[in-house]
Amino acid sequence: MKNEKDKYAYRVLWSEEDQEYVGLCSEFPSLSWLGSTQEKALKGIKKLVNESILDMEENGEEIPKAISVRNYSGKFMVRVPPEIHRQLALQAAESGVSLNRVASAKLAH
């Protein structure tokens, strides 16, 4: 069975500002690691996350659960301005579908 930290959402992006690659972890948004190659940035952020987890465990802090293994209900509340709500309701009525279907389709794009 894989370790939880191996299931975290890691990504590597080019940082024009730093002129290096930056490694990131979605579950630890305050952490980042710069590297001259994508491989170095990924290795660095994984090491930093591991060190952070060890520190959190020592301090009795809750370790973030990997996004990939979390359960999602498929429901969330979104507040929009009344004008947007009206436009979406009109689109739904004209298309003969639910407001939920219109909103879901827009979010998928």
Question: Is 58 in the same domain as 35?
Answer: yes
Provide the pLDDT for residue 1: 44
Question: Is 20 in the same domain as 42?
Answer: yes
Q: Which residue numbers in the chain have pLDDT < 70? A: 1-2
Provide the pLDDT for residue 4: 73
The domain in which residue 79 lies consists of 72-108
Tell me the pTM.
Answer: 0.71
Provide the pLDDT for residue 7: 93
Provide the pLDDT for residue 6: 84
Query: What's 47's domain CATH number?
Result: 3.30.160
The span from the CA of 16 to the CA of 13, in Å, is 9
The span from the CA of 104 to the CA of 89, in Å, is 13
Domain count, the chain: 2
Question: Is 32 in the same domain as 62?
Answer: yes
Question: Is 62 in the same domain as 77?
Answer: no
Question: Is 39 in the same domain as 51?
Answer: yes
Question: Is 16 in the same domain as 37?
Answer: yes
